[in-house]
Amino acid sequence: MGSLRRSFFFRFGIEETLHGSSAIARPLRINDQIRIRTVRVIDDDGQQLGIMATEDALAQARTAGLDLIEISPTAQPPVCRIGDFGRLKYEQAKKDKDARKKQRHVELREVKLRPKIEIHDYETKARMAERLLIDGSKIKVTIMFRGREITYTSFGKRLLDRMAEDMEPLAIVEREARLEGRNMFMILAPRVAPTGPPKYSLHRDAEKDHATTVAATTATDPEDVTDPADTDDTKEQTSA
């Protein structure tokens, strides 16, 4: 008998109110588990049937082939609903599954830098940060000081400021730069709607375009093109 009674005692994730809203709930009781003398009853269609004795409410539920479900035990009197508990559990499980799918799990990833990092190494780290932000992760940008480097924390601060500025189209600064022990770090969080590519890539592309333009201009500059006739005249003057 004890196992049969326990079979009616389920942990259910939603507690309904009179207006159909939902909140985090405690375990629900159904049918014979409801010991209170009087309850407020709602039928399977959501219509309020008023306050009645629990025995009468349970009899109505059984007559309809349904369950009496205590959906708001803290109300005065407690609120019960006549319905199919199995169907209610199934619908709630489906809602919970859909909610878990929509949940966005944000991971905190770390990008480590040295205060005297070279330009190409910085760009490698910046590309890593860009990829992580696009994937939806937060990044912790850490400057690691070794030995006497700790006396030049201003270098690390400027490097973090540069990273924050370069990633500004993709991220916001969630936590400003701060020094803890021998490390200085800041945290960047991805923007909901990025405003463009990171600035370091724009600078790099601009430099490439400038170099290409200069090379093309130099190759076609009339002042740098020598006329063969001028060369012959120069040779004759030298011979004379």
Backbone φ and ψ of 144, nearest 5°: -100, 120
The pLDDT value given to residue 85? 83
Give the chain's domains with CATH numbers.
2-93 (3.10.20.80), 108-199 (3.30.110.10)
Q: Which residue has the tokens 């924050």?
A: 164
Q: Residue 155: which residues within 8 A CB-CB, separation 6 or more? A: 115, 116, 149
The pLDDT value given to residue 113? 93
Q: Which residue has the tokens 């400021």?
A: 161
Using 50 as the pLDDT threshold, list the residues of the chain that sit under it.
1-25, 205-211, 213-222, 224-225, 228, 231, 234-235, 238, 240
Judge whether 84 and 67 are in contact, CB under 8 Å: yes
The pLDDT value given to residue 142? 95
Judge whether 82 and 68 are in contact, CB under 8 Å: yes
Each residue of 14-43: pLDDT tens digit? 444 334 444 444 567 888 888 888 889 988
The pLDDT value given to residue 222? 47
Best CA proximity match to 198, nearest among 229, 161, 171: 171
Q: Residue 122: which residues within 8 A CB-CB, separation 6 or more? A: 113, 159, 200
Judge whether 108 and 140 are in contact, CB under 8 Å: yes
The pLDDT value given to residue 12? 41
Judge whether 169 and 194 are in contact, CB under 8 Å: yes
The pLDDT value given to residue 227? 53
Each residue of 203-219: pLDDT tens digit? 554 444 444 544 444 44
CB-based burial label for 14 (10 Å; 0-12, 13-18, 19+): middle
Angstrom distances, CA of residue 210 to CA of 123, 146, 205, 221:
19, 38, 9, 16
The pLDDT value given to residue 237? 52
